[in-house]
């Protein structure tokens, strides 16, 4: 049996102390789901999350530091913006590190199917993390955003590898300058 008086008393006490039980009820489905996803996140040792505002779980950063492949020893930062439509809509993910990559353009847009047409509400942040990490292990020249990088990868792997290393050290690839992104 619900004791109406005790509920009213509890609400009155919370209001006087500045806490409101209604704030707990106002948690959006997106916030509830992202909280669950982040609690269940199992990051590999090559990844870490950063929360510029610890009270805002809907906006955070993921740093990927590949330990193999073309991008070994690089440090790449991604910005995640989780909208109120999550998990029915994919988070918006942008690469903040300018990178010479066939699937990431120079503005930071990422070509990853689960962030667009193949997104399903059962997918989680963990799925995105592993998808992004896979892009660094196996860049895909068949589905490019950076067509120049894709063409070089498809036609001359050695030159692609040299361009990646040159860009990660900090320097020009063609007429585009890349900031250093190698781990120290």
- Helix (H/G/I), strand (E/B), else coil: 66: coil
d(CA 68, CA 82): 29
Q: Is 111 part of the annotated catalytic residue set? A: yes
Q: Is 167 within 8 Å of 177 (Cβ atoms)?
A: no
Candidate list 47, 95, 111, 181, residue with the active-site label: 111
Contact partners, residue 180, CB within 8 Å, separation at least 6: 168, 169, 170
Structure tokens at 17: 């102390």
Q: Is 110 within 8 Å of 132 (Cβ atoms)?
A: yes
- Return the active site residues: 111
């Amino acid at each position: 049996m619900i004791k109406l008086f005790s509920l009213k008393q509890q609400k009155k006490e919370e209001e006087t102390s500045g806490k409101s039980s209604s704030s707990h009820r106002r948690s959006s489905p997106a916030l509830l789901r992202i909280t669950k996803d982040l609690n269940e996140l199992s990051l590999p040792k090559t990844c870490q999350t950063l929360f510029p505002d610890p009270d805002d779980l809907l906006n955070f950063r993921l740093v990927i530091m590949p330990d193999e492949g073309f991008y070994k020893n690089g440090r790449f930062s991604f910005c995640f913006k989780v909208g109120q439509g999550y998990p029915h809509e994919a988070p918006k993910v942008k690469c903040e590190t300018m990178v010479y990559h066939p699937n990431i353009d120079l503005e930071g847009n990422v070509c990853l199917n689960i962030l667009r047409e193949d997104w399903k509400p059962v997918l989680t942040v963990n799925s995105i993390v592993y998808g992004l990490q896979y892009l660094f292990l196996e860049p895909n020249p068949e589905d490019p955003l950076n067509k120049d990088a894709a063409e070089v990868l498809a036609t001359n792997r050695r030159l692609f590898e040299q361009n990646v290393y040159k860009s990660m050290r900090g320097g020009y690839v063609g007429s585009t300058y890349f900031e250093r992104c190698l781990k120290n």
